[in-house]
Amino acid sequence: MTGQCQAGTFLSGPPLQQRQVSKTACLSVFTEKGEHSINTSPEYARQAIERSLTRLGTSYVDLYYLHRLDKVTPIEKTMAALGELKQAGKIRHIGLSECSSTALRRAHAVEPAACVQIEYSAFSLDIETPQYDLLSTCRELGIAVVAYSPLGWGMLGGAIRSMSALSKPGDMRAALVPRFFKENLDANVALVDKLSEIAGRKGVTTAQPALAWLLAQGDDIFPIPGTRNPERLAENLGAMQVTLTAEEEKAIRLLADNVAGSREGVILKDYYFGDSPPLENA
Ligand SMILES: NC(=O)c1ccc[n+]([C@@H]2O[C@H](COP(=O)([O-])OP(=O)(O)OC[C@H]3O[C@@H](n4cnc5c(N)ncnc54)[C@H](OP(=O)(O)O)[C@@H]3O)[C@@H](O)[C@H]2O)c1
């Protein structure tokens, strides 16, 4: 919500500034009071977009995400409501996040999904596995993959080497994400050291081969690294110029086999690769 207010201030700037930014919003998982709540009902979809448009100070968003599935609303009903918002000109495209491949197929049959936002990085290859079948489903249906946390929540940037790097006020990783728990951190730092060795041999930063690896997985993969630092933003964009050899690609892929701890955060742990109840039960 704070992010949308800040984006709204930015978007109220000059027209050129407005044209360069794609406006996105999502059916939020947090209420106005910051409490955890997932609601994908048609009614909430209609209310939430109005609040987002007000905060962003715009009449439409380019991409409206269904951030998590609420396990109560059949996905067909949510997508039909989002289709109406599209017809009304309030959203241009629909995205889903952390959905199962079955839910994605059902959603896409009602309204086209433009993309799926899902964790994908050299530390998180779940979407490639037959168990989840999400990457192959996206490819079959022509849906882009927006790779969230492409630096493994920061781990693959190489700057996190001990628990003290996670101790700033507001940094919840050590408390919520198992890969950052004390018992797992050293093993994961040792894996990042292997990435840093590859980066060192190429004369690039640790983050760059991690992002280049993702970009090499296909033209349909769009990594969205997060940073508050303009220099790192430039560094991350520089990953587009980094080419990996087949051996480097293979070595980076092998890192995921040995990652200690789950990628699944404690709060939303029941909502990964989320399914949706059958339509006939509604
Ligand atoms: N759909 C979902 O459920 C979901 C879940 C999580 C995240 N996301 C989205 O994914 C995007 C990125 O996620 P994320 O920020 O969690 O993960 P990330 O991109 O994997 O990691 C970001 C962290 O890495 C650090 N970092 C960035 N560039 C770096 C560099 N070149 N070298 C070293 N460290 C670097 C950042 O610190 P500094 O800021 O200090 O640079 C930040 O702590 C965001 O847009 C977020 O909203 C979506």
The CATH label, of 3.40.1260.10, 3.20.20.100, 3.30.1300.10, 3.30.930.10, for the domain at 1-149 is: 3.20.20.100
Which atom belonging to ligand 1 lies closest to the Cα atom of 225? Answer: 19
The Cα 53–Cα 62 span in angstroms is: 11
**How much is the pLDDT for 114?**
98
Q: Which residue in this structure is represented by tokens 């050291």?
A: 193
**What number of other Cβ atoms are within 10 A of residue 66's Cβ?**
27
In this structure, are residues 121 and 147 in contact, taking their beta carbons and an 8 Å threshold?
Answer: yes
DSSP per residue over 114-161, as a string?
-EEEEE-BTTB-GGGSTTT-HHHHHHHHT-EEEEESTTGGGGGGS---
Out of 69, 127, 153, give the residue to mutate to test ligand 1, the one with the largest number of ligand atoms within 8 Å of its CB. Answer: 153
User: For the segment 178-206, what is each residue's pLDDT rounded down to a tens digit?
Assistant: 999 999 999 999 999 999 999 999 999 99
Whether residue 71 is predicted with pLDDT greater than 70 in this model: the reply is: yes
Q: Where in the chain is the domain with CATH 3.20.20.100?
A: 1-149
- Nearest-CA neighbor of 66 among 92, 105, 38, 32? 38
What distance, in Å, lies between the first and last C-alpha atoms of the chain?
31
pLDDT reading at 70 higher than 50: yes
Q: Scanning the structure block, which residue is given the tokens 């919003």?
A: 25
Q: What is the pLDDT of residue 16?
A: 46
Please provide the average confidence, as pLDDT, over all residues in the chain. Answer: 92
CA distance 4 to 165: 28
Shortest-distance atom of ligand 1 to CA 159: 33
Higher pLDDT: 281 or 275? It is: 275
What is residue 183's DSSP assignment?
H
Q: Is the pLDDT of residue 240 over 70?
A: yes
C-beta 154 within 6 A of ligand 1: yes
pLDDT digits (tens, 9 = 90+) for 107-154: 999 999 999 999 999 999 999 999 999 999 999 999 999 999 999 999
CA angle 127, 129, 135 (to 5 degrees): 40
Count Cβ atoms below 10 Å from residue 186 Cβ, excluding itself.
12
Rounded CA gap, 24 and 126, in Å? 25
Asked whether the beta carbons of 132 and 169 are under 8 A apart, the reply is no
207 lines ligand 1 (CB under 6 A): yes
Bridge-based pairing state of the strands 115-119 and 24-27? unpaired
pLDDT tens digits, residue range 156-174?
A: 999 999 999 999 999 999 9
Using a 6 Å cutoff on CB, does residue 36 contact ligand 1? no
Instruction: Please report the pLDDT score of residue 220 as a whole number.
Output: 98
DSSP conformation class of 24:
E
Ligand 1 mean position, distance from CA 179 (Å): 15
Residue 33: which pLDDT band, with cuts at 50, 70 and 90?
Answer: low
Please tell me the predicted confidence (pLDDT) of residue 266: 85
